[in-house]
Amino acid sequence: MISTATTTYGAGRNGGGGLSEDEIFEVLSNRRRRFVIHALKHAEEPIDVSELSTHVTAWERDVDPEEVRYEDRRNVYSTLQRTHLPKLEEKNVVTVHEEENLVEPTAELEELDIYVEVLRSREIPWSLYYVGLAGVAVALLLAVATGTPGFAALEPIDVGVFTATAFGISAAAHHVIGRRARLGNTEKPPELRKRE
């Protein structure tokens, strides 16, 4: 179960003409729109709206796209056509070719690097993890500096090596996990990855 979903966007987005932070959060506030964006970023060419609705329905129902029936995707297709695709087109994130019934990402979407942090109820966000790690490093340094029993044998350099190593390993893990948490980088959207 998802307890928190946090989204951020690539650096330099407000340099001119791009979406504002509020607009990005508005676009990403709906799960179906996130699924549409994920599908478009993952695809190599424009997607037919029927195919797009099949993918979104499959992700919502946690089934393979081949198992999606027409009755299941009919509602998704309709809401994509009436609500979500017009909203994405209004924000210049997609282009809808109505005659061909195709949707393609714009340059705006291609440049948008969307990270979705999905947490289960017992997980903590990375930001809180780093605060905790910094707290441990400060407490360890204070214990060494004050000669607390059990820590008196350590030198400040030992604390520095531990801190650098802990932050380095954590940052590497965060980078690997973060790549899988970007829309369009995996077969399924990041918020469904936890189910596997």
Answer yes or no: are the C-beta atoms of 19 and 108 closer than 8 Å. Answer: yes
**What is the residue-level pLDDT of the chain in tens, covering all 196 positions?**
343 444 544 444 444 457 777 887 888 888 898 889 888 888 888 999 999 999 999 988 888 888 988 888 899 999 999 999 999 999 888 999 988 999 998 888 777 776 665 555 667 778 888 999 999 999 999 999 888 888 888 888 988 999 999 999 999 988 887 777 676 666 666 566 554 4
CB 81 within 8 A of CB 49: yes
For 16: left if phi > 0, alpha if psi spans -120 to 50, otherwise beta; the answer is left
User: Is residue 118 a contact partner of residue 194, using CB atoms and an 8 Å limit?
Assistant: yes
